[in-house]
Amino acid sequence: MIIITGGAGFIGSALVAHLNEAGRRDILIVDALRNGEKWKNLVGKKYLDFVHKERFLTDLEDGLFPEVECIVHLGACSSTTEIDADYLMENNFHYTKRLCDWALWNDVRFIYASSAATYGAGEQGYSDADALTPLLRPLNMYGYSKQLMDEYVLRNDLQNKVVGLKFFNVFGPNEYHKGDMCSVVFKAYHQILQSGKVQLFKSRKPEYADGGQMRDFVYVKDCVAMMAWLIQHPEVNGIFNMGTGTARTWVDLVNAVFAAMERPPQIEFIDLPQHLQGKYQYYTQAEMAKFSGTGCPLQFRSLEDAVKDYVQQHLMQPVSYY
């Protein structure tokens, strides 16, 4: 059995869909659905059972789930603007650590989600080399909560026993429930439908043009394909970046959305909100040599191909989830 925490969420439900396509049905989904629309991500999925995240750890430790092959821990607060530090400490760090300890004690493969937010403003670059990890300085509490788990793994010499994935700017189907944390692809598509134009932040640094801020944008379908490969290869462990290795501008991104919708680009630049000033990343680009060295044969698709697939095969369809 494969346990996927956050299995009704964005990346988690896409992983379930990918595993289903590969013939896997022996999946236990852990999540908290509450009053939102996230439940729609489970429609059509094949899995053994659903367990609420607040009872899952107790049930797991009480031995209710025998014969676990792998735990993929994607369940966490993913809001980079969350300011409740106690909540993030408990939900993102302590919960992950407890799951990791159980998996190691029971000889179960453990894969968890870290984040590119750990790199902060990029003062140390974007290398996932173990020696650089303790030097990173995240810009927000979300990034710090992920950094704590990475440091826990390294401090206890677990990097050869577990997998941590530093996700960069992931976009794709099944993210609609994330509200303000939805990708710019999702937001741009709906802005274009409503007004024919897209709003992007102005730059506050002279070395970057408006809309010239750069990110490593990565498609969720590519991410979950590589995660499925990691499930099948327990000999591969470590903390890895999960990005394309190629930074692109916000203008490139929204131009790809306009192209996928077959509309002429129209971009309006707006001021960076006060609450993001000093916490905004102007450049991210994953160094992917470490992951490439694992022997994984899979490749990330281009930004244009990924955006086209997302827009035309999902956002423009009556049923947009994957």
Amino acid identity at 142: Y
140 contacts: CB under 8 Å, gap ≥ 6: 80, 81, 117, 279
Q: Look up 178 and say whether it is catalytic.
A: yes
Q: CB 126: neighbour CB atoms within 10 A? A: 23
How far out from the chain centre does Cα 237 lie? 18
Tokens of 14: 């896409």
Q: Per the residue annotation, which of 40, 97, 178, 290 is the catalytic one?
A: 178
173, with CB counted inside 10 A (0-12, 13-18, 19+), is buried
Q: Per the residue annotation, which of 95, 142, 219, 283 is the catalytic one?
A: 142
SS3 for 250?
Answer: helix
| Pair 57, 98: CB distance under 8 Å | yes
Residue among 234, 240, 248 nearest 289 (CA): 240
Residue among 90, 15, 97 nearest 54 (CA): 90
| Pair 287, 241: CB distance under 8 Å | yes
How far out from the chain centre does Cα 179 lie? 15
Spatial separation of the C-alpha atoms in residues 107 and 127, rounded to whole Å: 29
Residue among 282, 295, 289, 280 nearest 241 (CA): 289
Q: Look up 142 and say whether it is catalytic.
A: yes
Amino acid identity at 242: M
**Residues annotated catalytic, as ranges:** 142, 178
